[in-house]
Amino acid sequence: MEPITPSSERFLAGKTSLITGGSRGIGFAIARKLGELGSRVSVCSRDGKRLESAASELERAGIEVFAMQCDVTRPADIDAFVQKTESSLGHVDIAVNNAGVGLFGPSHEASEADWDSVLDTNLKSVFLMTKALAPRMILRRSGHIINIASLAGKNAFAGGGIYCASKWGLLGFTQCVAEDLRGYGIRVSAICPGSVATEFSHGGGPAKGKDSSKMLQADDIAHAVVMLVTQAPQSFISEVVMRPTQKP
């Protein structure tokens, strides 16, 4: 790929992008931005009503969309989502693993079900999606896989044991898969934002009580995704760390 320029608004024309957790927040902002650059867009969510609304909004913006209700912790759902995306839009060129959940509080007070919910959504789902997409990308010797991690994958804080474990694991997994696949022309990257002003950030954790006007916005993360997928062929940005200009 050549670097994006101001005259290349449809830089991703003919490409297909798949985004998990694409019905709202960061995932929706990424889907919209990639679609504005000409990509066909496939989005999934567990929330069928939100997904329908998001798909309609993307379509009104002139973006070709496939949307499917999907639980990314289930292998059968992942496989079906990938297969139906390919049938509707063609092979996947860009995959953004964005779906995530958070649960905060002392780890010793959490249940095993709490652990499974967070780790399965934030980490296992990325493993499942990688297994589904990597062989296809290897055959084409091209592709981008972008995992939305967090500064919580680098920094410990009280009450963050389960969430931090999922994001630390995601960063380790991303780095290893990048080494597994880079020889096939596939780039695997992580984006590590600080607190982002979305519905997720108001659910607890380190962002609770912060000034949302000073936090990162969903479009900031979408901008970083665009930067990654518009690199020149010889360039590989493996990790992006993002913080707000002012501490919220």
Q: For this structure, is 163 an active site residue?
A: yes
Q: What is the pLDDT of residues 133-170, one digit of tens each?
A: 999 999 999 999 999 999 999 999 999 999 999 999 99
* Gap between the Cα atoms of 184 and 38, Å rounded: 25
Q: What is the pLDDT of residue 200?
A: 61
User: Which H or E element spans position 99?
Assistant: none
For residues 207-219, give the mean pLDDT: 81
Are 17 and 93 within 8 A, CB to CB? yes
For 119-174, give the DSSP string. HIIIIIHHHHHHHHHHHHHHHHT-EEEEEE--GGGT---TT-HHHHHHHHHHHHHH
Q: Has residue 234 got a pLDDT over 50?
A: yes
For 26-59, how does the pLDDT look when each residue is reduced to its tens digit (9 = 90+)?
A: 999 999 999 999 999 999 999 999 999 999 999 9
- Global pTM value: 0.92
Report the alpha-carbon distance of residue 18 to residue 3 in Å, rounded.
21
Residues 69-114 have pLDDT tens digits of: 999 999 999 999 999 999 999 999 999 999 999 999 999 999 999 9
Calculate the average pLDDT of the chain.
93
* Residue 207 pLDDT class (50, 70, 90 cuts): low
Catalytic residue among 163, 168, 173, 200: 163
**pLDDT for position 105:** 96
Amino acid present at 3: P
How many CA atoms lie within 13 Å of 58's alpha carbon, on the beta-carbon side? 31
CA distance linking residue 168 with residue 85, whole number of Å: 29
For the chain, list the domains and their CATH numbers: 16-242 (3.40.50.720)
Please give the order of strands across the beta sheet that includes 40-45. 65-69, 40-45, 16-20, 94-97, 143-148, 186-193, 239-242
Q: Give the N- to C-terminal CA distance of the chain in Å, as an integer.
A: 37
